Structure 1
Amino acid sequence: MRIEILEESDLKVRFILHNAPIALANSFRRAMKSLVPTMAVDYVVFYMNTSFLYDEIIAHRIGLIPIKTDLERFNMPDKCVCGGEGCPNCQVSFRLNVEGPKVVYSGDLISEDPEIKPVYDNIPIVELYEGQQLMIEAVARLGTGKEHAKYQPVSACYYKIIPEIIVKDNCNNCGNCVSACPRNILRLNGKVEVTDILSCSMCRECVKVCEENAIDVVETDNYLFAVEGTGALPVKVVMKKALEILKEKAEEMNRIILEII
């Protein structure tokens, strides 16, 4: 298995996963979405809310705000020395006390830890009118996407199979396949050539119009991934952590099998 990075930034990575079974490719995708932990607000205490929105709606909105995460400093609650009761090693508190008229944004949340704060300051929470007030305390902790979507470190994570287009020797270069391709990835340059295999959707229109059966589209063990992060963690960190988790699960499975044998 090999990973080839095509495009990289803190929020988006496109890469090719070479020579991997499809089960592993899908496990990698699922691990990035649901097994890599990030910080998110877990519960909110309301001391004052005279806005037009119910407490539950505001709490839900705050819970979905991406929060910068440091996996080296914080523990999952069930693995913390406090036993999940809450301590500086597993949770961070936020305060908010605002009076209207004002639109309350994520940047108005004041964290007790300057490093653990909302990724974006401009996410609207609620609009307060004259005389309205919102006073709350929120507690964020680590969690995983399989527990709740608010803990997912990626907003989009998908892949597609990279096919191989085979042009056989009996091709008469009629050009029908070139004209039929909806993504214009074939060209006729003395013979039929593939210009951009990554754009192929495997619609097989080229195969359908070829009267000589001289072209074929086959699946391979290579996959084109696109991963977009929420900003809580750099996408490359998400990828690395996901692979580490899969490795740990595989090792645990081996131990279980050996015990059974």
Structure 2
Amino acid sequence: MKVYRIVLITFFLSLFTVTAAEAAKKSDNRHYQMPSSVMNIAKENTYPNPTQDLPSLQPSEFTKDLLSTSKVKIENPDLIRMLNETSINKTPFAIGLRATIYLGEWPLNYESSETVPNWEYQKINTNYFDNRGGNANYKIHYVQEMQKQIKGGLTAKIPHADDVQKMMMLTAAQKTKLPLSFSTTIGAGTKKSQVYNIPAQRLGYLYAYAPAVNEKGKVTYGEVFIVLKGMKRSIVVKNVTSQGIGAWIPIQDHVTFAFVTSSEPK
């Protein structure tokens, strides 16, 4: 009977753990789900933004073998590309070979601690109409008055900033499934057909914002060496350091709208 109770308790605990994990996953998905006030303007945008596509670079068999020898995780796409373009042939005449090749200091990997969207990151436009003298609703819709470029970037100066940005954007894009880019532009004359009604005797303001993601985490640096000992090849990382870093990454071709009416000018 005692054994039966233990088995039953273990079963319910495992069930609770799975349920809690699924609930956390669903909550995380809702966290990155766009509110109804955010709209895709890719088709309407008068400025054609280039598609940001940063696929994870697949290491070659040679690179996989090298990476497996490193005690520090290496995920930097540019370093992996360099290793993919490197070849060191095994030869029976290399039995007495001893060599150390210095590849320099690199940002090796990025570990995310927080990824939070800000749906009103930067105000880019205001459409306005004064209907205080009217007797019926007045309809307005979004029209971008001036071209706006929205730039993101790292929140602090850091070595090898371009490499770090790539790793941070890859991580944030994988977590959020959002179209991210460190620079996006909304062209003048961009329109959206969604209609907003300004009641009689009121002023109406339609604000447009560019959304972005705030990514925070830790980047690990190290000096990378390829070590050759006979027919063995390995990667050794020395002087490993870590540094906290954050970045703002705009969401490409998306706009958040906020409609406000008032009896007095704002």
Normalised-by-shorter TM-score class? under 0.3
Structure with the largest fraction of strand = 2
Larger Rg: 2
Please give the TM-score of this superposition, normalised by the length of structure 2: 0.22
Please give the TM-score of this superposition, normalised by the length of structure 1: 0.22
